[in-house]
Each structure stands twice: as C-alpha cells, then as structure tokens.
Amino acid sequence: MKTKIAALAAMLLCSTLACAQTTPIKVGLMLPATGTYANLGEMIENGFKLYVAEQGGKLAGRDIQYFKVDDESDPAKATDNVNKLIKRDQVDVLVGTVHSGVALAMAKAARESNTLLIVPNAGADAITGAMCAKNVFRTSFTNWQPAYAMGVVAAKNGHKKAMTITWNYAAGNESAKGFVDGFEKGGGKVTQNLTLAFPNVEFQALLTEIAAQKPDAVYAFFAGGGAVKFVKDYAAAGLNKTIPLYGPGFLTDGTIDAQGAAAQGLTTTLHYADNLNTPRDNAFRLNFAKTYKTNADVYAVQGYDAAQLLESGLKAAGGDIKNRDKVIAGMASSQVDSPRGKFTLSAAHNPVQDIYLRQVKGNINEMKGIAIKALADPAKGCKM
Ligand code: PHB
C-alpha cells in the first residue's frame, strides 16, 4: 500500500513541469568503441562531455544521464543497436555516429520513432538530403563538403588527371563523387575510382595500379586506423615523391602522430585545423588537452558542438526536452559558437561552414587559408 501511494505521488508530481525539469536528460551515445574508427568515437564522446562539464555538468539547468552502445561501425548491427537506446533505454536524444552506413540506419530509426538525433560525424549526404527530417541534425559535414572543396583546389593547383581511392561504402563513394564535382568543374578529369571493402587495409594492388597509371594527383578518403596505414603505405611505395596525395582532412586528423614522416606536407581540406588560433579555439584546445591528456581534433570539435546544439534547443524550451517544437526551433536557428568558427545550420540542418585548406607540418594540420567560405551542402531531395 505504502509503495502504491508513493508511486501515485510520484506520478502526480511527474505530471507537473517541475518534475520534468528535475529528471535528467537521457542522452544515448551510439559510437564506435572498437574497430578502425574507435579513436574517433572516443574523441566525439570526450568532446561532448567536455562541453557538458564546462557548464557544470548540466545543459540548460538539466542533469545529463548517458546511455552507451558500441556500434562497432557495423551497419548490419545498426538497427538493433539503435533500438537498444530508443526502446530499451528510452533516451530523449540520440548522439551518433561515425560511420555513414550505421548513421543512415540511425536516421531511419530516429525518423520512424520521432526521436531527436544529432549526428556528430557521419557525412552520409542523404541524412540532410533526401532523408532529412525535422528531428535530425548534424554538427559535422556532408561527405560532399570537404571533398568538393578539395576538388576545386586540386584543379586550381593545375592538375589535369586524377584518380580517387577509398573504401567502398557511402562515405567513401560520396567523398570521391564530391571530389569529382569540384575537380571537373575546374577543368580536371578523374580517370578512375579505385575502391576496396571497408575496413580493409590491403592497399598494395591498388597502389601498384596508381603507379602504373601515373595520374597527376590522387584523392583518398580514409579515416582512423585505415588512414594511418594508407598514408604510410603510399609513402613506402615511393608514390609521395611523384604523385601528390590529397584528401578530405580525415586523412590526417587525429592520425599524424601515428603517420609520422609519411604525412609531412600532405594537403587536405576540412572544417577544422590545428592552429586556428582564435580565443575560442585556444580555450577549447587547452581545456581538452588538460582534461584528456591528448590534443583535440575535428571529431572532438564535432562532439563538443553536438552538446552546444542540444543546449541551444533546451534553452529555447526552458529546459523542457519534451517541448519538442521549441527544442527543434531553438536548434535549427542557433548559431553555434564552435571552436572551428561560428556556424549556422542550413534548412536541412547541416552546418554551413568555412572549409579550410590545411597542410601537415610537424604534428599539426596547419591552416593555409580558406578553400571555400560558408559552404552549404546542396541538400538534394530534402523536403521538410
Ligand atoms: C563516414 O562514414 O561518414 C565517415 C567516417 C569517418 C570520417 C568521416 C566520415 O572521418
């Protein structure tokens, strides 16, 4: 009887706004903790938690409770994994993930269950394109954005004939396509797209093919552990002496220490660099390094900004995550004060952002300039 009364009292209490404001916000982190992208997942989580910690452990006055799933960057397990967070844990908001194939399944599940989703990395164009939705946001990029910028720069550098090489999945293929768009617009021609299955790193046969065809330039999309191995193999084959290697910044972000000499001088394009030297970025990098004893990278920034974006929505709704329309409106209209530089979201909920030109020098991706200012993804097929 006593417990019944207690439950009833709790129910009564919980039907009031006061209760909604005291229970923690449930954040479901679906990220890779194993495999070639494990380090990227860790940086995103650390970035997110750093921002929350900087706000005293709360966002808009609300405590944050974390639920976690290791998605293993495995699309085959993605629907089951995301449902652990949506159905079992009943999270208020999903944050994930790194791998485009996994993120596409998350976006589908988020749409169907009307769960709020913030994508802190995966670039799958469709997430803020044909599959765009009111409840789906991204704080990272589309695969097209940095790739297109790299194509434009490679053409400007006078290259005429290029080859692309990547993993055969949404991110790799869309990245290669973005490069083709920019490069061919500038008068170049991409003669061949080489691929291998994700997350394989047996590059030898493909490097032999590149050596045989002798293009003017190579564009590669790899990230995490795969990027470390690719950049080292490219140099070991002697190709870095004769054929310039370009890529989206993932090729060298968070990987330079492991790549060592093989990465020196590589030119890439990305919405972040290691020496932006703004007060905002310097403060972020200092706190990140102090807290985690390692340097921040683009993944850490994207995770940090996912927490900032959520906070904007919560603030607009007076801390009430259940007031979905206000949360969404607050997020959609927010200007995120990112370490990368301030950005806004497009109508499709993807960052409109500067794409920096960077070059590896020592252990940093040094900013060389802005390749394209305020670049918005075309968001093909997005209707909201
Ligand atoms: C992706 O799968 O969309 C992806 C993965 C790793 C990156 C960038 C994009 O660094």
Tell me the per-residue pLDDT of 323-343, one tens digit each, with 9 for 90 and over: 999 999 999 999 999 999 999
For ligand 1, atom 3, name the residue with the nearest CA. 122
Domain presence at residue 361: no
122 CA: nearest ligand 1 atom: 3
| 299 and 283 fall within a common domain | yes
Residues 71 and 24 both lie in one domain: yes
Residue 295 Cα, ligand 1 centroid: separation in angstroms? Answer: 19
What is the pLDDT averaged over residues 108-132? 98
pTM for the model stands at: 0.95
Q: Which atom of ligand 1 is nearest to the CA of 250?
A: 10
Residue 316 and residue 214 share a domain: no
Ligand 1 centroid, distance to 224 Cα (angstroms): 9
pLDDT at 6 over 70: no
- Going from the Cα of 22 to the center of ligand 1, the distance in angstroms, rounded, reads 36
Of the candidates 27, 47, 31, 29, the residue with the CA atom closest to the CA atom of residue 297: 47
Q: Torsion over CA of 31, 33, 34 and 38, rounded to 10 degrees? A: 80
Average pLDDT, the chain: 95
The protein residue with its alpha carbon nearest to ligand 1, atom 7, reads: 223
Domain boundary among 219, 243, 270: 270
Distance 123 CA to ligand 1 centre (A): 6
Q: In sequence order, which residues have a C-beta less than 8 Å from that of residue 107 and are 6 or more positions away?
A: 117, 119, 124, 126, 127, 131, 133, 136
H-assigned helices in the chain: 2-14, 17-22, 38-54, 78-83, 100-113, 144-156, 170-185, 204-213, 224-236, 256-259, 279-292, 298-316, 324-332
As a whole number, mean pLDDT of residues 139-163 equals 98
Pocket test for ligand 1, best of 30, 121, 222 (most atoms within 8 A of CB): 121
**Tokens representing 92?**
């208020």
- Has residue 52 been placed in a domain? yes
Residue 368 maps to a domain: no
Question: Would you say residue 375 lies in a domain?
Answer: no
In a domain, 249, yes or no: yes
Based on the domain organization, do 200 and 291 belong to the same domain?
no
User: Of all atoms in ligand 1, which is nearest to the CA of residue 98?
Assistant: 5
255 and 182, same structural domain? yes
Q: Name the domain count of the chain.
A: 2
Question: Do residues 266 and 286 share a domain?
Answer: no
Query: What φ, ψ does residue 76 adopt, rounded to 5°?
Result: -65, -25
CATH of residue 246: 3.40.50.2300
Q: Are residues 25 and 173 in the same domain?
A: no
Alpha carbon of 265 to ligand 1 centroid (Å):
22
Distance 161 CA to ligand 1 centre (A): 25
Q: What's the rounded mean pLDDT across residues 154-179?
A: 98
Considering the domain architecture, whether residues 200 and 249 belong to the same structural domain is answered as yes
Give the Å distance between the CA of 24 and the centre of ligand 1. 30
Same domain for 130 and 168, yes or no, is no
313 sits in the region (left: phi over 0; alpha: psi -120 to 50; else beta) called alpha
Reply yes or no on whether the pLDDT at 16 is more than 80: no
How many A from CA of 221 to the centre of ligand 1? 9
For 62, other C-beta atoms within 10 Å of its C-beta total 20
Percent of the chain whose predicted confidence (pLDDT) is above 70: 95
Check residue 10 and give its pLDDT. 47
Domain that includes residue 284, residue range = 2-141+276-349
Q: Which atom of ligand 1 is nearest to the CA of 224?
A: 10
Any domain includes 369 = no
* 8 Å CB contact between 237 and 214: no
Give the pocket of ligand 1 (CB within 6 Å).
98-100, 121-124, 143, 171, 223, 250
- What does the pLDDT read at residue 22? 79
Asked if 249 and 300 sit in the same domain, the reply is no
Q: Work out the burial of residue 267: count CB atoms within 10 Å of its CB; fewer than 13 is exposed, 13-18 middle, 19 or more buried.
A: buried
Same domain assignment for residues 137 and 155? no
The predicted pLDDT at position 1 comes to 45
Cα–Cα distance list, 50 to 8, 44, 53, 166, 188 (Å): 38, 10, 5, 32, 43
Among residues 229, 252, 270, the one where a domain terminates is: 270
CA of 262 to the centre of ligand 1 (A): 21
Best substitution site from 39, 104, 143, 198 to test ligand 1's pocket, by max atoms within 8 Å of Cβ? Answer: 143
Q: Is residue 354 part of a domain?
A: no
Which of 270, 296, 319 is the last residue before a domain boundary? 270
How far is residue 343's CA from residue 214's CA, in Å, rounded to a whole number?
Answer: 40
Q: Which atom of ligand 1 is nearest to the CA of 101?
A: 2
Instruction: Identify whether 88 is part of a domain.
Output: yes
Question: At residue 100, does pLDDT exceed 50?
Answer: yes
Residues 135, 17, single domain; the answer is yes
